[in-house]
Structure 1
Amino acid sequence: MNRLTCGLLLIAFVLVPGCTTCSYRAGDQCLVPESCPEYPADQRAKVYAIIFRGFDPFHLTHVEKLREELNQHGFAKVYCVDFYHEAFIEKEIKRILCEDPDARFVVVGYSLGAGVAQNLVTRVTACSVPVDALVEIAPVYLPFTGTGPDLSRVGRHLIIANSYTQPACHTRAEVLNLSGAGFLTEPSNPVTVQMLRDILMASAEHVPPSSNDAHPTVPLVDNPAPLPGQNFEIPR
Structure 2
Amino acid sequence: MSKRMWFSCGLLATALALAGCTLPCHKGYEKALENGVQCELPTPCRNRVHLFMVHGLTPSTHTGLNALRLQLGENGFAKVGIGEFYHAWWVKSEIECIRKNDPDARFVLLGYDYGAGVALSLARDLTAKGAAVDAVVLLDPKGCAPEPCGVHTLLITNGMCTERVPHSARVMVPDATHFTLPAHPTTVAAVADLLRNIAERHCEPEIEEVPVWSYPNAPEPHSVAPVRGTPPEWNFLADRAGPTRAIGTQTATRPVAKPPAVATTAPVPVSPVPVATKR
Q: TM-score, normalised by structure 1?
A: 0.76
Picking from 5, 19, 23, the partner of 1:18 is 23
Encode CA deviations 1:113-139: one digit per residue, 9 max, x unaligned: 000000000111122322221000011
Structure 1 counterpart of 2:109, from 107, 110, 130: 107
Aligned to 2:46: 44
What amino acid is aligned across from residue 57 of structure 1 in structure 2? Answer: P
Partner of 2:249: none
Aligned partner of 2:179 among 175, 184, 204: 184
**Equivalent position of 2:59 in the other structure:** 57
1:158 aligns to 2:189 (yes or no): no
* Alignment gaps of 5+ in structure 1: 214-236
Greater share of helix residues, 1 or 2? 1
Counterpart of 2:196 in structure 1: which amino acid? M
Partner of 2:143: 141
Q: Find the residue that maps to 1:12 and give its secondary structure.
A: helix
The answer to whether 1:31 aligns with 2:36 is no
Match of 2:102, as an amino acid? Answer: D
> Structure 1: which amino acid aligns with 2:18?
V
Higher relative contact order (CA 8 A, sep 6+): 1
TM-fit CA distance, 1:62:
1.3
RMSD: 2.4
Report the Cα distance in structure 1 between the residues aligned to 2:79 and 2:101, rounded to whole angstroms.
16
Structure 1 residues 160 and 14, CA, compared in 2 at 3 Å: closer, same or farther? same
Could you tell me the percent identity over the aligned residues? 30
| Alignment CA distance shift 1:22-1:190 (3 Å) | farther
1:8-44 alpha-carbon deviations (Å, 9 max, x no partner) = 44222332241013646x32xx332115443100111
Match of 2:258 in 1: none
Measured at CA, do residues 212 and 93 of structure 1 come closer, stay the same or move farther in structure 2, by a change above 3 Å?
same
The answer to whether the 8 A contact 2:46-2:77 is kept is: yes
Which residue in the other structure is 1:232 paired with? none
Question: Which ranges in structure 2 are unaligned for 5 or more consecutive residues?
Answer: 209-279
Is the Cα–Cα contact under 8 Å of residues 68 and 188 in structure 2 kept in the other structure?
A: yes
SS in 2 for 1:84: coil
Q: Which amino acid aligns with 1:39?
A: L
Contact 2:33 2:74 in 1 (8 A): no
